[in-house]
Amino acid sequence: MRRTLTVLTTLSAATWAITGCADTPLGSLGSDDANLESSMDSSYGDFTDTHQESMEGAVYAGDDRDGDGALDLAPLEGNASLPVAWGRRPSGPMRRVVETFYPDPRHAESTIRRTMHGRLYVDRSDDGIRNPGVKGFADDWKRSTRFVRLDDDEWRMTSITPAQIRLANRDAQTVFIENVTIWVDGAEAVSIDDPNAFLEFPADLPVAAPGQILRVEAAVGNTDQEWTPSQWVYLHTQGRRIRDWDDDGAPQDRPLCHRFRMSDNGERGDRVPGDGIYTIEMELKGDRPLARAVIDVIASETLMSEFGDDYNSTAWGIPFLVRPPEGE
């Protein structure tokens, strides 16, 4: 039996939590099928940089640049250069569909698909003024989860796939991810070469706590070789929650997200320069464990101009196991 719903709400559940930057946890679920399906939603926000937007809409998310002072953004022939600032912001219509298949009364498998429209802000003028150009985009987001019904009529998650983000217009996408491997304190935590493959919950999910060393390697590529490098790769992480205020001055808690540039130049933990494997190694900070890591590949051509219809990216979101801190 298969049911298809367009779901507009999300369910907050306790016990174990896997979250995106919208902090929608999963784990022990209610018996209502609609709630089971609506709980599939995680966040597109872990792929955007809304927490670092200016009032003018520009996004100055950290690229972890080396050096100080003005930047020479005039590229040599064929050599790509990074803009002063860039970032995404969701906007426009969003279509969300959940398909749930029940092979028997005790098991369910749900797949959520979202089409998200947004704006990419790119500022290539190193003049200290936030005046980015804007490019529109539409991305498809997909993830699947399996559940089992317990004796007390509750649904419990048993496995989950990574989240996969691709262009809604597949013909325009040239960047790709082949494999992602994550180490925590020198031990391999997970290696993924198929974003549709299920990770057993909680056994297969990596765990990373503050003070530990996180190492991420991503084998990526681009069939369009106009620029060198042909793509840039970033790691988005979501960690502890912080107190913030909404537009009306009301307090709200939100997860803290960061963006880090990954390297394929023999630096920052990269083992072999120019082999297409981008790497980052860093110590985790904050008072909460890592909840999600997103490997984000964006074509160099996309960031070489402030305007145009050349948006080109893909991403995988890897869930981490989050245990509530002691005492909570």
Q: Does 325 map to a domain? A: no
Residue 16, both tokens = 């174990």
Q: At CA 28, angle to CA 26 and CA 34, rounded to 5?
A: 75
In sequence order, the 6+-apart residues with CB closer than 8 A to the CB of 180 are 191, 192, 193, 216, 217, 218, 219, 295, 316, 318
- Two structure tokens written together for 201: 């919950």
Domain count along the chain:
1
For residue 326, is it within any domain?
A: no
Between CA 240 and CA 256 the distance in angstroms is 6
DSSP summary character for residue 152: T
- Report yes or no on 94 lying in a domain: yes
Joined tokens for residue 88: 């995404």
Per-residue pLDDT of the chain (328 residues), as tens digits, is 544 433 222 222 222 222 234 333 344 444 445 555 544 555 455 556 544 433 344 444 444 433 333 344 455 668 999 888 888 888 877 888 888 888 998 899 999 998 989 889 888 887 767 778 899 999 999 999 999 988 777 888 899 999 999 999 999 999 999 999 999 999 999 999 999 999 998 899 999 888 899 999 999 999 999 999 999 999 988 765 555 555 566 665 555 677 889 999 988 788 999 999 999 999 987 766 788 899 999 999 999 999 999 999 999 999 888 765 454 5
Q: Which two structure tokens, joined as six digits, stand for 264?
A: 């394929």
Domain-embedded: residue 35: yes
* Domain presence at residue 160: yes
Could you list the residue range(s) of the whole structural domain that residue 245 is in? 2-319
DSSP state of 46: G
- Tell me, yes or no, whether 303 lies in a domain: yes
324 inside domain: no
- The whole-angstrom separation of Cα 144 and Cα 171 is 24
Task: Tell me if 79 is assigned to some domain.
Answer: yes
Task: Supply 296's token pair.
Answer: 């984000």
